[in-house]
Chain A
């Protein structure tokens, strides 16, 4: 996978994850092109399309579009499952996730994504394991008290 984007129907970006090094200009260009192309598609259309040399897989969940750019050998149908799994993970973590959750807790959304996918490949296929890891990692985050008392360096 080359990139994963989340944006809403107005084209506002909610999450961006890049797995290849690109300049800011290139990233913005891709974002705008993806937004335009995907939002222009009719609702019942095929989830796949060809863009430059990449396969684009997208799916709409409520008000958010999840859009991935795949390389040639990647399995498109499986990527749909991947997106489904990510949404399930978010749902499990936030409890009935909606766009607002992702807006206000984008950092958590990124953390979950980073536990699920690394470098464009899946690292954990078990829902339980992933949920457990997130819980533990969150537990490591300091409370306000601890944060202020403990030295930084």
Chain B
């Protein structure tokens, strides 16, 4: 058989192939030749064949039949063979192959070879792809080599040890004695790999970390020498001596100095020196500065040093080099949590980065901008961010839009409905946006007008359509009356509005959820518009819709028209401002963003007491009525969706006493009284205690309950009563529960109490808010039931409260 062709020949031949098919043909032919050559166990040409095989493997062709041949090469005595054999092993074998374990013995022998380059090959292979079994077997050899004086081997052994530790962490202890004098080496290669080894050990084991802390002075000294030393041609990179080693030392210092005052103090000087003296004209200097900044931020550095670090990052932001700006933005993002004020100083530069052409930089700048938004800068930031939203690529739009809403609602400001991004907003932002809109009362007219105009243009963007139809339902009267200050008011008739909403119902583009929104909106307009008949017609048509959800809604609304017409105005009233609940935003936004305002946003979420139904029944019996609306205690927070809530209300209401329909999420036998339900809000006390005197409702056995009154502003039929429970006995009253029931013409809502424990000796009181709807202006009567535990014994009491002052219900 003729000698197999040389590697060069093969490469040259393959490169002449003009098509993929031609190439494949050549390779298949050659593979066949190689395979037969392997079968003949030809020692002379094995090396050449494996080399060719490796080339073909790189082109993407299978080469698994060469694995065993690699092993044979490794076992050979010739250096050339070994070199190619080990290379083949690293490329073709990995720990998933069974064959690789056969290498262990070969490697072991080679680790003890007389030639350092053979030892080096073995160490390299072990350090790159040794499996855990191999590592376990050969760790002893590696450890031995770590102690040798030959720097070539020592540095390789150190990195091999790193690999062993990564694979088999338990073996870390074994290498500890060998690390004793690693840092006293002069050879930079050994120093570098030693620092890597120490870093790995410190990262993995807190004990090692404490053990190696004593090395800090030595490390500082080495670093100092590097900086101060003169020009050394072999290590120099653009005027800086061995930047690789410098950076590694800085990284190790970072780990050693973290949460340790002494070490951090020992490093302060050198860090300041590096930070100020490093040449920043080239990338290499900036690489060192970058690492220095990271180290300064992580250890317990003094504030002067931290400011220096942030300023360096600020300078990076102004650098022409894109890479450096990117790196600066990434680091600032990491530090914005801890050093918020310092980062704020660079806000304008960061916002400028939004206009950068580079995609990576834009994304980082966007994330950082959201993190920086706070009450002081929101107007300016929003302007920039909205402009960015308009002009950015689609891949950003979703995150940016959601981020904008999130940031906006945190500050209760709606600057500008971001119409364009409507479709990109994620679905979970819809209720948030609606909440936002309700909160900015003065913007209602403007909002609804703009949303209406957007709807006229385009009804394909579902989240936008949902928000728009909700708004039109709520504020349709404002739209029609044409009162808008911010913009030119448009002339819209009721019919036009209804046309638009009906259009949504029939359009193919509308999702079922959107249809639900528009139907509800149409219904709400029945109290705001005068063309009730048209609305009635629409509603009754959908009573036979195929979509179950729509049908249910329509049927219930129909019932509302027919049987409960007297309730309709109250039900379809304007929604009050919703208290915000916990946000789960897409972007990570710091809670306070550097401000100390205790916003109303951090609303208290006291535990909601769910009422066991049998207790409610008892109270019902007592009052002797069977149609009495059940006691309602505070419902769990977070309204599901604004439109949906209204549905729940109406759904429950239409079935008097019957089984509640599926949508009602609350307690099964309850009838959710009215609009205000589901909202975890603290009541809106717009005019406080307008002269209604407080009264004592109950005073027995040391427990005194006082009622104070307020009128809720939007609806004069609602009385808001706050109970104050105080305890004059010597012991605390725990598990305190207050329940109330009212006669059937009233409706009642109990919000969550401030706590369950009434402190002894009048040291404090428990407050709870009750809202009573009294549309018929009848005299208010109430039955209350109190349960608590005093000195370990449970106490229960019932009482009737009749002495309400007349002003509270008239």
Contact = CB atoms under 8 A, between A and B. Distances in A.
Contacts, number: 169
Contacts of B159: 118-119, 121, 123
Given A77-B283, A78-B287, A125-B245, A45 B54 contact: no
A10 interface: no
A4 to B, nearest CB: 12
Contacts of A104: 8, 11
Given A46-B323, A49-B360, A118-B156, A125 B244 contact: yes
B188 A126 contact: yes
B155 to A, nearest CB: 5
Interface in A1-50: 12-16, 18-19, 21-23, 28, 44-50
A111 B77 contact: no
Interface string B343-375: 000000000000001111100000000000000
A137 interface: yes
Given A126-B189, A140-B117, A152 B43 contact: yes
B247 A16 contact: no
Given A103-B15, A140-B117, 16 more contacts: A16-B91, A19-B128, A21-B96, A47-B322, A47-B323, A85-B237, A107-B83, A107-B87, A118-B163, A119-B159, A119-B162, A124-B155, A124-B188, A125-B245, A137-B120, A142-B79
A48 B323 contact: yes
B314 interface: no
Chain A contact-residue range equals 35 or more
A96 interface: no
A128 B235 CA distance: 8
B515 to A, nearest CB: 39
Interface residues of B, number: 74
A148 B78 CA distance: 10
18 contacts: A13-B58, A13-B59, A16-B58, A21-B94, A45-B358, A73-B251, A78-B244, A80-B283, A81-B244, A106-B55, A107-B87, A118-B156, A118-B160, A122-B193, A123-B156, A123-B189, A125-B188, A125-B189
Interface in B197-245: 233-235, 237, 242-245
B299 to A, nearest CB: 15
Nearest to A55: B330
A119 B127 contact: yes
Contact of A128 (B192, B233, B284): B233
B358 A77 contact: no
Contact of A107 (B54, B234, B251): B54
A45 B87 contact: no
Contacts of A95: none
Contacts of A85: 237
Given A46-B322, A48-B327, A80-B323, A111 B156 contact: no
Nearest to B251: A73
Contacts of B58: 13-16, 106
Contact of A122 (B83, B131, B244): B244
B152 interface: yes
B117 A77 contact: no
B330 to A, nearest CB: 8
A81 to B, nearest CB: 5
Interface of A: 12-16, 18-19, 21-23, 28, 44-50, 73, 75-78, 80-82, 85, 103-104, 106-107, 110-111, 114, 118-119, 121-129, 133, 136-137, 140-142, 147-148, 150-153
Contact of B323 (A21, A76, A82): A76
A82 B244 contact: yes
Of A19, A80, A129, A136, chain B has the most CB atoms within 10 Å of the CB of A129
A122 B359 CA distance: 31
Contacts of A118: 123-124, 127-128, 156, 159-160, 163
Contacts of A46: 322-323, 325-326, 358, 360-361
B192 A122 contact: yes
A152 B41 CA distance: 12
A103 B58 CA distance: 10
B70 to A, nearest CB: 13
B323 A77 contact: yes
Of A16, A75, A76, chain B has the most CB atoms within 10 Å of the CB of A75
Contact of B117 (A137, A147, A152): A137
A80 B287 CA distance: 9
B596 interface: no
Contacts of B188: 124-126
Contacts of B322: 44-47
B80 A147 contact: yes
Nearest to A110: B87
Contacts of B284: 77, 81
A152 to B, nearest CB: 4
B291 interface: yes
A35 B12 CA distance: 24
Interface string B111-155: 000010100100110011101000000000000000000001001
Interface in B251-306: 251, 283-284, 286-287, 290-291
Interface of B: 8, 11, 15, 43-44, 51, 54-55, 58-60, 75-81, 83-84, 87, 91, 94-96, 115, 117, 120, 123-124, 127-129, 131, 152, 155-156, 159-160, 162-163, 166, 188-189, 192-193, 196, 233-235, 237, 242-245, 247, 251, 283-284, 286-287, 290-291, 322-327, 357-361
B693 to A, nearest CB: 65
B360 A45 contact: yes
Nearest to A127: B234
B78 A152 contact: yes
Nearest to B163: A119
Nearest to B44: A148
Of A123, A133, A140, chain B has the most CB atoms within 10 Å of the CB of A123
A77 B124 contact: no
Of B235, B244, B322, B359, chain A has the most CB atoms within 10 Å of the CB of B244
A111 B189 contact: no
Contacts of B80: 141-142, 147
Contacts of A13: 58-60
A148 B357 CA distance: 61
A80 B117 CA distance: 29
B797 to A, nearest CB: 61
Contacts of A147: 44, 78, 80
Nearest to B236: A127
B108 to A, nearest CB: 17
B711 to A, nearest CB: 56
B79 A125 contact: no
A13 B233 CA distance: 34
Contacts of B163: 118-119
B245 to A, nearest CB: 6
B61 to A, nearest CB: 12
A119 B286 contact: no
A110 B393 CA distance: 41
A48 B237 CA distance: 22
Given A142-B78, A147-B78, A81 B361 contact: no
Nearest to B200: A121
Contacts of B237: 81, 85
Contacts of A119: 127-128, 159-160, 162-163, 166
A19 B166 CA distance: 12
B35 to A, nearest CB: 19
B83 A111 contact: yes
Given A78-B247, A80-B283, A140 B115 contact: yes
A65 to B, nearest CB: 15
Given A75-B287, A121-B193, A126 B234 contact: yes
B698 to A, nearest CB: 61
Contact of A123 (B11, B59, B192, B357): B192
